[in-house]
């Protein structure tokens, strides 16, 4: 039975989801068809449309059907059609001139088809056409002149296709075009002619292609919207690569593998207002990389690997700067010391900042995010330069132990400012704040009421007072002496005015020299003395008077830092909660003295102790080599404390780990040296071989080890290149053999995971990154930042109840699960917000049940797929290693014996499993 036509009020031919597979034109021959017949896949007529209805139809919707192709003249029978929808049909090809001569057509939509290309003269003579969307297909080539002569066309969307070839004249005669979307294709080259199609682009989207460098024609594009190259294949922005692209307002280069931005990369982009370089791996940023961006207002550099952000000068109109999720340990700065006077929003969260001295470079800052850093102390000097403009400050999840009273009153007391400081160890808005039992020097625990807010924690002693150790209170300097004063908050001692100057009423500075009646009497008596004696006496007094209080404060700071270092060296107070001081806090002379002393002690211990060298030939005079003696191939990795290079010496490839000693505190540096001395005493085929050290410059301590060619196990597992199960067994056995060796010598690994297992060209394993011990006080910090490390830590380590050889065995169990079953996400503690949360999440009683259920899934998987004796043995070993009770876990030697016994039976075959669901 033929269905009757029922047009909607909008004159739409709505045939969506009718399983139509064919459209037939009836009585074609005298110049006009009498009807159109729409037939389903079962050869039933879905609809027969009479000629009298053709002119009234303005929209044809044939989406969600079974059309493989459509007749050439289909849409020309509707003289007033304005919109055509062919989405979600298995259309493989279209006839030429399908959309030709449609005088009223305004929009074409074809989503999710299997179209592989455009025919010649695909779209033409459609004077009112404004929008074309052909997405989610398989189009691979856009031929020359495929789309042309469309005077009102505004938007052309070809995203999510397979376009690999595009010609300069693929699009012609499109004067009104302002949006071109070619994202999610496979283009490697962008023809220059594409950028000249429009007089003013709103959007040029080339996201997720295979483009590796800026197209030459980009400099001719006029873009008042954005150009996006996100998710392409850039690895480096070359010098002057985008130079003179002067008419682009926004450029997106985010989410790629860019690691370097070179000199003047964007010079001459005078219209650029927004530049997005986020979510890359940028670690090297030229100081003048952003020179010439005179109108830049927003710079996005978050989610990179930057350790410093130094600009030749800040872009003069910069309003927003995002540097969050990097590795910065200091504020962004300018080599020309200019200020970012227009900067309003600065995001530095999730970095490694441990001190913020002053915000004077950003005088008009309104929003500042310093959360998730390592800040330890805040003083009034920090926020004084922005006190008039600041409106929002985020300080949560730092290590702030004390704050200044003036900062509380000037910032929290102002109602226009939104400041967040919870949680921090020494300050907060709740009485439950975990403040230290003894506040840091210069502060005392107080409850401060500011406006309608109550602040709890360690508050620095106000100017005019000092921290009295005997009473653990803030005492007035006036009680010490009438001439005693302190000019800054948080002082631990008072300064004194000289006898020739009185104290200001503010009790924070001294008057200039003046002469009292005692002074005039002295002058009168001294008239009989020789002029030379009088002049010398006056010069002496003058010099005494001009001794500045700032010098006294500087000396106090140096003395305090030296005291901290001496305390750490001598281990005078191992239970102290004071955060270790970095070596670069010291004056230059002190830095060299301390590092030279540590280096001399290291060489002395090495000279006195026995050398345990590897059996392979070893070059002579390793410790006497100069850095220039090595031929460096490339950088393998970088972090805050060190750089790792692949180099060559005497024809041998080696790995050189260069420690930046000034970035360590004393505990960290002595621990690192201790780890090196540990490596000197070990020699085993399954332990990464140590060759020697190089410490010619005190600021760089180099450790030289063997190069293991295949890289770490984690990467190889992700690439799935390790082959059959025999390789897996060999790797696990090698790891356990290495552990058995170090455990027999009383050494534990502490951080065994797939990243620290290196694979040789013969697919043998070597254990890397051995440590003598781990400071549990700072272990929490690494748990929060380094999410990968959480699954590999035994429960007893997190509860601080134990950390011995059995925790390494737990890590072996996780390693085996990772190899045979893939990474199992339920083992991870995802982004713990605080150390306490991380601890609770992993030592909760329910975790034991989770492990039991997980191992049940593992066993079920092996029983379902393979049933050999080796299967049960392997799962049993995993269960034993992951036992919650350390005493129930086997030793490394026992595991080694069990694996050797298993490998004797060659018929025991185990294949690697997929993810356990």
Residue 773 pLDDT class (50, 70, 90 cuts): low
Residue 742: cis peptide before it, omega within 30 degrees of 0: no
pLDDT (tens digit per residue) in 810-828 = 889 888 888 877 644 333 3
Total number of residues shown for the chain: 917
- The answer to whether 712 and 758 have CB atoms below 8 angstroms apart is yes
**pLDDT for 564:** 52
Q: Which of 45-59, 259-273, 638-652, 701-715 has the highest mean pLDDT?
A: 259-273
Whether 347 and 322 have beta carbons less than 8 Å apart is answered as: yes
Region 375-399: what's the mean pLDDT? 84
pLDDT confidence of 285, banded at 50, 70, 90? very high
* pLDDT, tens digit (0-9, with 9 covering 90-100), for 602-615: 877 777 664 443 33
User: Where residue 111 falls among pLDDT bands split at 50, 70, 90?
Assistant: very high
Q: What percent of the chain has pLDDT over 70?
A: 75
| pLDDT, greater one: 822 or 351 | 351
Inform me whether the pLDDT recorded for 385 exceeds 90: no
Q: What is the pLDDT of residue 827?
A: 37
Quick one: average pLDDT of 531-536?
60
DSSP string, 187-205: -S---GGGGGS-SSEEEEE
DSSP 499: T
Position 469 scores a pLDDT of 80
The model's confidence at residue 624, banded by pLDDT at 50, 70 and 90, is: low
What pLDDT score does 581 carry? 56
**Does the structure show a pLDDT above 90 at 278?**
yes
The pLDDT of residue 722 is above 60: yes
- Residue 486 to residues 108, 170, 491, 504, 556, Cα–Cα distance (Å): 77, 76, 7, 11, 12
Rounded average pLDDT over 229-245: 92
Looking at residue 533, what is its pLDDT?
Answer: 62
**pLDDT band, residue 635 (cuts 50/70/90):** confident
CATH code for the structural domain at 713-904: 1.10.510.10
On whether the pTM is more than 0.85, the answer is no
Could you give the count of Cα atoms lying within 13 Å of 534 in the half-sphere of its Cβ? 11
- Nearest CA among 857, 770, 785, 863 for reference residue 822: 857
Residue 453 or 158, more confident: 158
Beta-carbon contacts of residue 726 (< 8 Å; ≥ 6 apart): none
What's the whole-number mean pLDDT along residues 279-307? 93
Please provide residue 449's backbone torsions phi and psi, each rounded to the nearest 5 degrees.
-100, 120
pLDDT given at position 376: 82
Would you state the pLDDT for residue 437? 56
Q: What are phi and psi of 886, to 5 degrees?
A: -60, -30
C-alpha to C-alpha distance for 159 and 179, rounded to whole angstroms? 12
Distance of alpha carbon 32 from alpha carbon 43, whole angstroms: 24
Gap between the Cα atoms of 281 and 436, Å rounded: 38
Share of the chain above pLDDT 90, in %: 29
For the segment 316-338, the average pLDDT, to the nearest whole number, is 90
Please tell me the distance from the alpha carbon of residue 39 to that of residue 770, in angstroms, as a whole number.
73
Residue 872 has pLDDT above 90, yes or no: no
Whether residue 557 is predicted with pLDDT greater than 60 in this model: the reply is: no
- Quote the CA–CA distance of 419 and 105 in Å, as a whole number: 56
Token readout for 783 is: 């748990």
Residue with tokens 């050494």: 747
| Confidence (pLDDT) at 874 | 77
Q: What is the mean pLDDT of residues 822-842?
A: 38
Banded pLDDT at 671 (limits 50, 70, 90): confident
Average pLDDT over residues 485-498: 84
The number of beta carbons lying within 10 Å of the beta carbon of residue 154 is 16
pLDDT, greater one: 578 or 340: 340
Q: Where is average pLDDT lowest: 87-91, 218-222, 456-460, 718-722?
A: 718-722
Report, as an integer, the average pLDDT of 187-208: 93
Contact 133, 180 (CB under 8 A): no
Judged by average pLDDT, the poorest of 557-561, 616-620, 881-885 is 616-620
Regarding predicted confidence, which is higher, 342 or 513? Answer: 342
Band (pLDDT 50/70/90 cuts) for residue 416 is low
Say if CB 819 and CB 732 are below 8 A apart.
yes
Largest Cα–Cα distance in the chain?
137
pLDDT band at 853 (very low <50, low <70, confident <90, very high): low
Burial profile 649-688: b = 16 or more Cβ within 10 angstroms, e = fewer? beeeebbbbbbbbbbbbbbbbbbbbeebebbbebebebbb
DSSP secondary structure string, 360-394? TT-TT--EEE--SS---EE-HHHHGGGTTT--EEE
Per mean pLDDT, which range of 455-464, 763-772, 846-855 is the poorest?
846-855
**Dihedral (Cα; 197, 199, 204, 206), 10-degree rounding:** 30
**pLDDT average, residue stretch 366-375:** 93
For tokens 């597979």, name the residue: 21
Query: Measuring CA to CA, how many Å separate 347 from each of 119, 314, 366?
Result: 51, 15, 11
Q: Can you name the residues that pair with 495 across neighbouring β-strands? A: 485
User: 675 or 111, which is more confident?
Assistant: 111
Helices (H), 490-548: 517-525, 531-545
Pick 583-614+621-706's CATH classification: 3.40.50.720, 3.30.200.20, 3.40.50.300, 3.40.50.1820: 3.30.200.20
The better pLDDT of the pair 335, 740 is held by 740
In this prediction, residue 753 carries a pLDDT of 86
- CA distance linking residue 847 with residue 564, whole number of Å: 41
Over residues 5-34, the pLDDT tens digits come to: 445 445 889 999 999 999 888 765 555 677
Q: What is the pLDDT of residue 54?
A: 86
Q: What angle do CA 264, 269, 273 make, to 5 degrees?
A: 115
Share of the chain residues as helix, strand and coil, in percent rounded to the nearest 5: 30, 20, 50
Averaged pLDDT, 876-904? 86
871 contacts 864 by C-beta, under 8 angstroms: no
62-91: average pLDDT: 91
> Average model confidence (pLDDT) for the chain?
78
User: Quick check: 619 pLDDT over 90?
Assistant: no
Q: d(Cα 191, Cα 231) in Å, to the nearest integer? A: 19
Q: Residue 884 above 60 pLDDT?
A: yes
pLDDT digits (tens, 9 = 90+) for 431-477: 766 555 568 888 888 888 776 778 888 888 888 888 888 788 889 88
Q: What angle do CA 174, 179, 184 make, to 5 degrees?
A: 120
Confidence of residue 909 (pLDDT cuts 50, 70, 90): very low
Q: CA separation (Å) from 780 to 775, 830, 832, 839?
A: 10, 14, 10, 9
Residue 273, Cβ neighbours under 10 Å: how many?
A: 16
Helix ranges (DSSP H) in 609-659: none
Residue spans per domain, the chain: 461-510, 515-544, 583-614+621-706, 713-904
Query: Span 370-384, mean pLDDT?
Result: 83
Predicted local distance difference test score (pLDDT) of residue 781 = 32
Placement of tokens 């075959």 in the chain? 909
Judged by average pLDDT, the poorest of 55-69, 122-136, 602-616, 687-701 is 602-616
Task: List CB contacts of 9: < 8 A, sequence separation 6 or more.
Answer: none
| Rounded mean pLDDT, 206-221 | 93
Q: Give residue 914's pLDDT band: very low, low, confident or very high (50, 70, 90).
A: very low
Per-residue pLDDT reduced to its tens digit, 543-555:
444 444 444 544 5
What SS3 class is residue 167?
A: coil
The count of C-alpha atoms lying within 13 angstroms of the C-alpha of 662, restricted to the half-sphere facing its C-beta, is 15
- pLDDT greater at residue 111 or residue 405: 111
Report residue 859's pLDDT band, with 50, 70 and 90 as the boundaries: low
């Amino acid at each position: 039975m033929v269905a009757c036509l029922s047009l909607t009020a909008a004159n739409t031919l709505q045939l969506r989801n009718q399983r139509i597979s064919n459209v037939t034109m009836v009585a074609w021959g005298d110049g006009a068809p009498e009807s159109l017949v729409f037939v389903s896949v079962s050869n039933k007529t879905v609809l027969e449309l009479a000629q009298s209805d053709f002119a009234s139809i303005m929209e044809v919707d044939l989406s969600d059907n079974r059309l493989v192709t459509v007749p050439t003249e289909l849409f020309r029978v509707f003289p007033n059609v304005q919109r055509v929808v062919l989405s979600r049909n298995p259309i493989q090809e279209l006839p030429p001139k399908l959309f030709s001569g449609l005088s009223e057509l305004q929009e074409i939509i074809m989503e999710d088809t299997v179209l592989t290309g455009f025919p010649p003269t695909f779209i033409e003579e459609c004077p009112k056409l404004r929008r074309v969307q052909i997405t989610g297909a398989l189009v691979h080539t856009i031929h020359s002149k495929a789309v042309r002569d469309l005077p009102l066309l505004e938007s052309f969307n070809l995203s999510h296709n397979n376009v690999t070839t595009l010609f300069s004249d693929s699009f012609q005669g499109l004067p009104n075009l302002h949006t071109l979307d070619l994202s999610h294709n496979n283009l490697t080259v962008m023809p220059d002619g594409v950028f000249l199609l429009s007089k003013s682009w709103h959007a040029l989207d080339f996201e997720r292609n295979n483009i590796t460098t800026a197209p030459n024609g980009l400099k001719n594009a006029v873009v008042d919207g954005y150009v996006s190259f996100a998710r392409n294949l850039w690895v480096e922005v070359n010098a002057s690569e985008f130079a003179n692209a002067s008419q682009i307002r926004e450029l997106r280069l985010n989410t790629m593998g860019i690691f370097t931005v070179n000199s003047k990369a964007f010079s001459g982009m005078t219209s650029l207002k927004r530049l997005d370089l986020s979510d890359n791996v940028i670690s090297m940023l030229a100081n003048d990389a952003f020179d010439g961006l005179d109108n830049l207002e927003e710079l996005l550099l978050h989610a990179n690997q930057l350790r410093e952000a130094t600009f030749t000068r800040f872009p003069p109109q910069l309003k927003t700067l995002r540097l969050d999720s990097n590795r910065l340990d200091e504020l962004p700065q300018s080599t020309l010391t200019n200020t970012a006077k227009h900067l309003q929003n600065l995001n530095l969260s999730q970095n490694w900042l441990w001190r913020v001295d002053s915000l004077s470079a950003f005088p008009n800052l309104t929003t500042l995010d310093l959360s998730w850093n390592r800040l330890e102390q805040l003083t009034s000097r920090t926020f004084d330069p922005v006190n008039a403009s600041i409106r929002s400050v985020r300080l949560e999840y730092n290590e702030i132990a004390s704050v200044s009273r003036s900062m509380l009153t000037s910032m929290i007391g102002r109602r226009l400012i939104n400041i967040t400081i919870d949680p921090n160890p020494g300050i907060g808005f709740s009485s439950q704040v975990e403040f230290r039992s003894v506040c840091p020097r210069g502060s005392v625990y107080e409850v401060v009421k500011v406006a309608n807010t109550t602040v709890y924690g360690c508050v620095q002693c106000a100017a005019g007072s000092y921290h009295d150790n005997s009473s653990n209170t803030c005492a007035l300097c006036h009680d010490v002496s009438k001439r005693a004063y302190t000019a800054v908050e948080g002082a631990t001692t008072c300064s004194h005015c000289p006898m020739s100057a009185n104290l200001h009423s503010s009790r924070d500075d001294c008057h200039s020299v003046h002469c009292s009646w005692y002074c005039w009497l002295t002058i009168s008596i001294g008239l009989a003395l020789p002029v030379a004696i009088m002049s010398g006496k006056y010069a002496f007094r003058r010099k005494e008077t001009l001794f500045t209080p700032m010098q006294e404060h500087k000396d106090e700071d140096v003395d305090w830092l030296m005291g901290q270092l001496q305390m750490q060296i001598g281990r005078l107070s191992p239970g102290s909660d004071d955060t270790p001081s970095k070596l670069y806090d010291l004056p230059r002379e002190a830095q060299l003295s301390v590092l030279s002393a540590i280096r001399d002690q290291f060489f002395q211990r090495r000279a006195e102790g026995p050398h345990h060298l590897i059996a392979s030939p070893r070059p002579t005079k390793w410790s006497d080599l100069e850095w220039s003696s090595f031929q460096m191939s490339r950088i393998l990795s970088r972090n805050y404390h060190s750089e790792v290079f692949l180099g060559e010496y005497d024809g041998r490839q080696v790995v050189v780990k260069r420690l930046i000693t000034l970035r360590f505190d004393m505990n960290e540096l002595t621990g690192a040296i201790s780890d090196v001395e540990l490596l000197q005493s070990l020699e085993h085929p399954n332990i990464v071989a140590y060759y020697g050290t190089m410490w010619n410059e005190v600021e760089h301590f180099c450790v030289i080890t063997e190069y293991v060619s295949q890289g770490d196990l984690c990467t190889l597992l992700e690439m799935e290149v390790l082959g059959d199960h025999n390789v897996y067994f060999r790797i696990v056995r090698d790891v356990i053999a290495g552990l058995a060796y170090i455990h027999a010598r009383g050494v534990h690994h502490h951080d065994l995971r797939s990243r620290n297992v290196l694979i040789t060209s013969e697919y043998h394993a070597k254990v890397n990154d051995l440590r003598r011990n781990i400071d549990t006080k700072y272990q929490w910090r690494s748990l929060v930042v380094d999410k990968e490390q959480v699954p590999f830590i035994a429960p007893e380590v997190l509860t601080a109840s134990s950390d011995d050889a059995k925790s390494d065995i737990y890590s072996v169990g996780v390693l085996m699960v990772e190899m045979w079953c893939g990474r199992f996400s339920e083992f991870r503690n995802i982004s713990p917000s605080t150390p306490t949360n991380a601890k609770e999440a992993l030592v909760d009683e329910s975790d034991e049940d989770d492990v039991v259920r997980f191992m049940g899934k593992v066993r079920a998987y092996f029983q379902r797929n393979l049933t050999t004796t080796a299967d049960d043995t392997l799962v049993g070993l995993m269960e034993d290693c992951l036992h919650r009770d350390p005493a129930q876990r086997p030793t490394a030697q026992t595991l080694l014996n069990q694996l050797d016994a298993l490998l004797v039976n060659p018929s025991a075959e185990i294949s690697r499993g997929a993810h356990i669901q």
